[in-house]
Amino acid sequence: MKYIVLLSAISLLLFPGSAQAQGPVVSKVTEAVPKVDLGVKLGANFQQLSGNPSVQYKGGVVGGLFVGLHKNRMGVQVEGLVKTVDYSVKVLQPTMPPMATYASASVSTITLEVPVLFEYRIFWRIWAQAGPEFSSILSAKNGTEDFKNHFDSHDFGAVIGLEAHLHVRLNIGARYIYGVTNINNESVSGVSGAMKNRTAQAYLGFRFI
């Protein structure tokens, strides 16, 4: 141990500038590297199918993982989320034309969604978020009856929201997703007209790093 201390002292005496030179270099590298966020989130999902016939917002849950890169006031965040929602839909019943009758069906869905969000820090720790979201229906059932083929399983939407990155590794946020894709499979559902998702979410997240 004495020899290590002695060698360290000699090196500092012989090369006094080397230790000082490393400091700014390390500092510049640290400043250039974006901050990485990795965590989980859980929240409430409220979803509506717009179109004919329109239905009210139905509640569910949303949760999953997120990873983000932030540098100064800019950032990007990618998430992998699973959400649930119960749709109240109308299904065309077979009748003699020209009459058409509909029956209500409660359909429970499980959907995978992947938002890619560009972020800008407005002030303090508040970030504005906007970007595309890609989603796919994993399951849609009315009791034991499979309703997945009543929908176009792939959906594309636009996301806008606000998120606060708090000191205690917590994120809290809210967002709105405007569905662009018509998910109504008219050939199976028997209901004409576009049906598009309108979604509001509020959530709490925890950052591991």
Residue 26 belongs to what domain range? Answer: 1-33
Residues 17, 75: one domain?
A: no
User: Of residues 183 and 81, which shows the higher confidence score?
Assistant: 81
Three-state DSSP class for 35?
strand
Q: What is the pLDDT of residue 19?
A: 45
Q: What is the pLDDT of residues 58-97, one digit of tens each?
A: 899 999 999 999 999 999 999 999 999 888 776 666 655 5
**Does residue 128 sit in the same domain as residue 79?**
yes
Residues 113, 92 share a domain: yes
1 and 50 in one domain? no
Question: What pTM value is reported for the model?
Answer: 0.78
pLDDT at 15: 53
Report the relative pairing of strands 58-71 and 145-146 from DSSP bridges: unpaired
What was the pLDDT predicted at 135?
96
Give 111-155 pLDDT, tens digit per residue: 999 999 999 999 989 999 999 999 999 999 988 888 888 888 899
CATH number at residue 109: 2.40.160.20
Regarding whether 86 and 9 lie in a shared domain, the answer is no
- 7/66 same-domain check: no
Question: Which residues touch 117 (CB under 8 Å, ≥6 apart)?
Answer: 76, 77, 78, 79, 129, 130, 131, 159, 161
Question: In the chain, count of helices (H) and strands (E)?
Answer: 3, 9
How many CA within 13 A on the CB side of residue 172? 3
Asked whether residue 62 falls in the same domain as residue 136, the answer is yes
